Structures are given as C-alpha cells and as structure tokens.
Amino acid sequence: MYGATPAYAHEPDATEIALGSLVDAELAFARMSLEQGIRAAFLANFSADGIVFEPAPIRLRDAWLQRPAQPDPKAVRLEWQPAQASVARSGDMGFTTGPWKSTDARRAGDVRHGVFFSVWQRDKAGVWRVEIDIGVTTTDAVDFVSLGAAPQPGYRGRAQAAEQRRHVLAQESHTFDAAHMYPRILAADARLHRDGVPPIGGRDAVAREINAHASRIEWIPFGARIARSADMAATYGKFVAQRDGGAAVDGYYVHLWLRDAQGRWRLAYDIAKSA
C-alpha cells in the first residue's frame, strides 16, 4: 500500500477498515500541511500529549503553542505520504511510515529528504491522533518497494494490556550485548531507520548494522503506548551506545514492538537520532 487507501478482494473486516481509516487520516494530515502550513497541521493532528523529537522528545502541543506563528506559514513546504502502515488487532493503534520532502522557499535550492515514522492512537471520540512522531534524513528520496511488506502483529491471544506494557518497558530497561542479545529480540522483518541512509530491512542486515557501530547498548525508556489488544506497543527514550575502546554515543529512539503468534514481543522498528 503506497499512499492510498488499500483495496480488498473481499469484504473488509474490522482491522482492514481501521487500516483504511488510518491511511486516510495520514493523507488528510499531509494535505492540511500543504494547505495551511506545518504548524497548523501538526497542532491539529497531534494528541494533547503527542511526542515529537527536536532531537530530544517534547510534547508538541505544549512547545509549539508557546512559539509565535511564522509570518508566512507556507514558506517551508513539507510533503509526505504513507508508503506503509499497520494497525493493531483492536483497531485503536497503528503506525505509518514513508518518505518526506522539505522545501524552503526562502532559500534557493534548499530541498531535503527523509523518512518519517508516526505512531497513532484513536482518542475517545474515535479520531486518529499522532502520539509519537520521529523522522530521519536521507540523501535522496526513498523507495519503499524494495523493503517488502510492512511488519504485522501476529498475536491473537488474551490482551492483558497493562501487564504487557510493563513487560515491554522491562525488556528495554537494561544494558545489553549488541552482538548476541540484540538479534534475539528482532522481528524477522525488522527495520532500522538512521540519519543519512535509507531504511534497512531484515533481522540479519539490521543486526549487522548495529553490531558495526556498537558493542553495548543501553536503552532508557521515557514512556510507552500500547494497543488494547496488546499486540502492538511503541516506546521512546534515550539510548547510549558504545563500541569497545571507543567513546559513547547517545541520542533518542522510538521503538515499535509487535507480538508474534506465540505471544513474544519482537522489535519491528528501531528508529534513533543522535543527540
């Protein structure tokens, strides 16, 4: 599915309907950005406690409402579209990801590319709102076709969302060996998003990339979101990575976790930005 509501060869079920509505919400968000400007679109589509990275995580509405509006809200043009998306079985949580392009009309030739990743949840009125949004930069526009289909949750058992939220946070709250422990928690179709390079897909390729840059990693989670069906969760926080004999590198991350058919949490998306 690339930037349009998916079509089905059968009568769509509740999950497929939720997916279609999520894609529609992302497309409307992107359209509003072009019509009314970035500030207005983000304020209208984020939840009250929605998180954005600058590069540290902040509550967008708290921070952006305190900033004066730009004289020309359309001077910087931000374009994006969802290339891939997925929703939890409960239909109350999902993610979207795809390419973005920024053009600054005030500076000739100022064009930047990147990849966004957004976590969405439905509010009490059933409206999709952005809960977590993070982006990385790339040298050129990214084609998602080569990555294959987006990772999907496989769990169909009992939810126990509060308990599973604690499990996800506990899994992140420690330092671990990048060469041995990190590959064990990855989904088979895991994705890695880092500044300067296109997304990397597949457990082996992701593990190799991480191991090439770090021997030990510490994750310090700040918060988490989880679906009612407890098959999808998102966490964000701070990371510290160190290569043997080298200086530590720190920054901030977003992780998207999916439960497989056996109920095991697997890291499906690892997105991080240096501080």
pLDDT of 122 strictly over 80: yes
What is the helix (H) or strand (E) element at residue 188, kind and residue range? strand 186-193
Residue 39: is its pLDDT beyond 70?
yes
- What global pTM score does this model have? 0.94
pLDDT digits (tens, 9 = 90+) for 200-222: 999 999 999 999 999 999 999 99
Question: Which has the closest alpha carbon to 192: 216, 172, 221, 212?
Answer: 212
- Determine the Cα–Cα distance for residues 146 and 37; give it in Å rounded to an integer: 32
pLDDT at 228 over 50: yes
pLDDT tens for 82-94 read 999 999 999 999 9
pLDDT at residue 175, as a whole number: 86
Residues 45, 119: Cα–Cα separation, whole Å: 12
Of the CA atoms within 13 Å of residue 56, those in its CB half-sphere come to 4
Domain architecture of the chain: domains with CATH: 14-147 (3.10.450.50), 161-274 (3.10.450.50)
pLDDT-based confidence at residue 81 (cuts at 50, 70, 90) = very high
Cα first-last separation, the chain: 33
pLDDT at residue 8 in the model: 55
Phi-psi region of 148 (alpha: psi -120 to 50; beta: other; left: phi over 0): left
Q: Cβ(187)–Cβ(262) under 8 Å? A: no
Handedness of CA 227, 230, 233, 235 (dihedral sign): positive
What is the 8-class DSSP label of residue 54? S
